Amino acid sequence: MERYYQPEIECASREEIRAIQEEKLRAQVRHVYEHVPYYRKKMEAKGVRPEDINTLEDLSKLPFLSKADLREAYPYGLVGVPLKDCVRIQSTSGTTGKRVVAFYTQHDIDLWEDCCARAIVAAGGTNEDVCQISYGYGLFTGGPGLNGGSHKVGCLTVPTSSGNTDRQIMFIMDLSTTILCCTPSYAAYLGERMKELGYGPNDIPLKAGIFGAEAWSEEMRQDIQQTLGIKAYDIYGLTELSGPGVAFECSAQSGMHINEDHFIAEIIDPETEEVLPEGAQGELVFTAIDKEAFPMIRYRTRDICTLTREKCSCGRTHVRMAKPKGRSDDMLIIRGVNVFPSQIETVLLNHGYGANYQIIVDRVNNTDTLDIQVEMTPEMFTDNIGEVADRQRQLVEGLKSMLGIRAKVSLVAPKTIARSEGKAVRVIDKRKI
Amino acid sequence: MSIKQISVFLENRPGKLKEMTSVLAAKHIDMRALSIAETKDFGIARLVVDDAYAAINILKEADFVANLTSVLAVAIPDEPGGLDKLLGIFAEASVNIEYMYAFIGGKDVKHAYMIFRVADTKAAEARLAGRGLSIMTQEDIAGI
């Protein structure tokens, strides 16, 4: 039998959902207009006032927010409450040197954790479960979000954070972990390691996994389910909107339910910015109608996907989004971490290299690899090999601190990076997702 | 009286060294000495040639990253203990060697040639002066 964390909301009628959304939308737009001068200016530029926004159909009158706005308003320009009411930040990569910093009031954290709790219950979680959170903790939203959700459900929470695979396995086996939360690539890696250690799907106590923060295919799901002997659920979110739990999969494993009492989803044409009808593929745009500290209105996710309101066999009524098919910008998601080519370029230039580089992303044994080929320049070259190697190491460190993940840097001869129409091909993504 | 060494950046991949030698061969550059230092993914070829300026222009035109470095070239008798004696003089003069390589041959069969990279070539030359060393010029190298 399907279980819900908040059945009255998760299974509300479409009319009820619409009423909730419209009421919250009106209040949110008024609040943002009054408290976020940055967005107010955008509204004024478009000639739209809070009283023009009454129904969901009015949403399209409002201006968009994008990563560029976050950069421009960094760090406090989009905060909707006095800082004394904010209790936390989380952060993710921005497009260049500046990171995205998202703010939370206690209310925001509560609703975020509710969303994660819904995902855990949808994956079969109860207070009888042992839930191991192998997402990174810290600035990354994965660990803190699922950790909070797990507490709300009442699971015994095991905050292992990411990495240290053999220790993860020890906890899974010794504590009889039943629910695993991590990136799908890490789940696949854990599965392989457990297989190597001689654990078959029947020896492993896990029954469910909640995997997100990066793209994964249906084939990868089948693989993980078989190796670990679990049911694997997708989860979606972004720091700008709270973190994981904006949308989550149910037992039907057929699209992710968007938590519509907190987020209004639209699909737009990324070029014309027109709103597209249900079922059409386009860029996903979210309006956070319940968030106080970081009230994103019509935030462009750059994720390309489709929405459906078709009835779901799980009984939930909230709209479902398909797995994102790609991006309308050049962002890469590598080992769950957002990476923009422009960030890599910034680091290269700061370290004295030129802007001739190529990013090669691949997935080897279900783990993403990031290889950056950088053309050697006369300025960076000396006859002293130790010095050249030191500079290469410093570059690797600089990239690590900008991106949050380790990249392999290869120094290559000048003009070896393929150029098309005079412009270098920046990214080669060999992953088959 | 130092000579010019050419240092060339090379990727550590099959055929890369040959790309360099082909470019030099096509323009009839005559190599006197060659040494290679390498890491896992790249290397640096160091060359002493008959005409250093011609060679570096040829390499740059062919899109190699290359530069000229002053190094000391010293001729020593090609006999047991020859290098030991020379290094004794370097030690006495407190000249630290960053790297070195050697070659023998050419028209003069009695001598071996040692190439030294030191931190400050001019200062090293001053310290080594008057110690009976036969430090070579670019012309000497071209003439071997």
Residues A139-188: pLDDT tens digits? 999 999 999 999 999 999 999 999 899 999 999 999 999 999 999 988 98
Six token digits for residue A179: 């629910």
Contact between B9 and A410 using a beta-carbon 8 Å cutoff: no
Give Cα separations from A176 to A130, A136, A154, A195, B141 (angstroms). 7, 21, 16, 17, 75
Query: Closest Cα of chain B to A354: distance in Å?
Result: 13
B105 and B135 share one domain: yes
Residues of B in contact with A388 (CB under 8 A): 9, 42, 44
Residues B99 and B138 in one domain: yes
Mutate to test the interface with B, among A373, A385, A408 (most CBs of B within 10 A): A385
Distance from CA of B7 to the nearest CA of A (A): 5
Residues B103 and B127 in one domain: yes
Confidence of residue A125 (pLDDT cuts 50, 70, 90): very high
* pLDDT single digits (tens) A228-240: 999 999 999 999 9
User: Over the stretch A100-114, which tens digit does the pLDDT of each residue have?
Assistant: 999 999 999 999 999
Interface test with A, best of B9, B20, B39 (most A CBs within 10 A): B9
Same domain, B51 and B98: no
Q: Confidence band (pLDDT; 50, 70, 90) for A24?
A: very high
> What mean pLDDT comes out for the span A258-267?
98
Which chain A positions have a beta carbon within 8 Å of B98's beta carbon?
A: 384
Q: What angle do CA B43, B44, B47 make, to 5 degrees?
A: 140
The topology under which CATH files domain A7-329 is Rossmann fold (3.40.50)
B84-93 average pLDDT score? 94
* pLDDT in the model for residue A420: 55
B20 and B57 together in one domain: yes
> Higher model confidence: residue A214 or residue B57?
B57
- B65 and A389 within 8 Å at the Cβ level: the answer is no
Provide the number of structural domains found in chain B: 2
The mean per-residue pLDDT over the stretch A406-413 comes to 93
Q: How far apart are CA A132 and CA A179, in angstroms?
A: 6
pLDDT (0 to 100) of residue A367: 84
End-to-end CA distance of chain A: 32
Q: What is the pTM of this model?
A: 0.77
Residue A292 has pLDDT above 80, yes or no: yes
Helices (H), A210-340: 218-228
pLDDT of residue B141: 86
Name the 3-class secondary structure at A21.
Answer: helix
Q: Is the pLDDT of residue A422 over 70?
A: no
Domain boundaries in chain A? Answer: 7-329, 333-429
Looking at this protein, which amino acid is placed at residue A431? R
Task: Summarize the confidence of residues A372-376 as an average pLDDT.
Answer: 93
Decide if B11 touches A, using CB distance below 8 A.
yes
Q: Are residues B47 and B82 in the same domain?
A: no
Tell me whether B117 touches chain A (CB under 8 Å).
Answer: yes
By Cβ distance, the residue of A389, A413, A415 closest to B9 is A413
Do residues B55 and B96 both lie within one domain? no
Contact B9 A376 (CB under 8 A): yes
Q: Which of A381, A384, A389 sits opposite B65 (nearest CB)?
A: A381
Please give the residue range of the domain that contains residue B62.
Answer: 3-69
Which of B49, B69, B89 finishes a domain?
B69
- The pLDDT score that the predictor gives to residue A144 is 98
Neighbour count for residue A83 (Cβ, 10 Å): 9
Q: CA A308, A312, A314, A318: dihedral to nearest 10 degrees?
A: 40
- Supply the pLDDT for residue A349: 87
Cβ count within 10 A of residue A387:
12
- Residues of chain A with pLDDT > 70, as a percent, come to 97
**Which of chain B's residues have a Cβ under 8 Å away from the Cβ of A410?**
11, 41-42
- Choosing from B46, B69, B92, the residue where a domain stops is B69
Question: Average per-residue pLDDT in chain B?
Answer: 92
Strand A427-429, strand A357-364: pairing: parallel
ipTM of the complex: 0.87
Mean pLDDT of B35-59: 94
Report the pLDDT value the prediction gives residue A341, as an integer from 0 to 100: 86
Please tell me which residue of chain A has the smallest CA distance to B98. Answer: A384
> Min CA distance, B22 vs chain A (Å)?
16
Contacts of B41 in chain A (CB under 8 A): 410-411
Residues of B in contact with A385 (CB under 8 A): 37-39, 43-44
| Section A18-27 average pLDDT | 98
* Nearest CB partner across the interface for B39, out of A377, A385, A415: A385
Give contacts of B37 with chain A, Cβ < 8 Å.
Answer: 385
3-state secondary structure of A154: coil
Residues of B in contact with A374 (CB under 8 A): none
Strand, helix or coil at A215? coil
pLDDT interval class at A419 (50, 70, 90): low
Query: Is the same domain home to B61 and B122?
Result: no
Q: Which of B19, B23, B42 to mutate to test the interface with A (most CBs of A within 10 A)?
A: B42
CATH of the domain at B58: 3.30.2130.10
What are the chain B neighbours of A415 within 8 Å (beta carbons)?
Answer: 63
Average pLDDT, chain A: 93
> What is the model's pLDDT at position A364?
87
> Rounded to an integer, what distance in angstroms lies between the CA atom of residue A409 and that of residue A389?
11
Q: Check whether A423 has a pLDDT greater than 60.
A: no
Which B-chain residues 35-54 have CB contacts (< 8 A) with chain A? 37-39, 41-44, 46
Q: Calculate mean pLDDT across residues B35-60.
A: 94
Q: Supply the DSSP symbol for B75.
A: E
Q: Output the CATH code of domain A333-429.
A: 3.30.300.30
What is the reported pLDDT for B68? 94
Q: How far apart are CA B38 and CA B42, in angstroms?
A: 6
Distance CA B83, CA A406 (A): 45
Is there a contact between B44 and A389 if contact means CB atoms under 8 Å apart? no
Cβ count within 10 A of residue A157: 20
B14: contact with A, CB 8 A cutoff = no
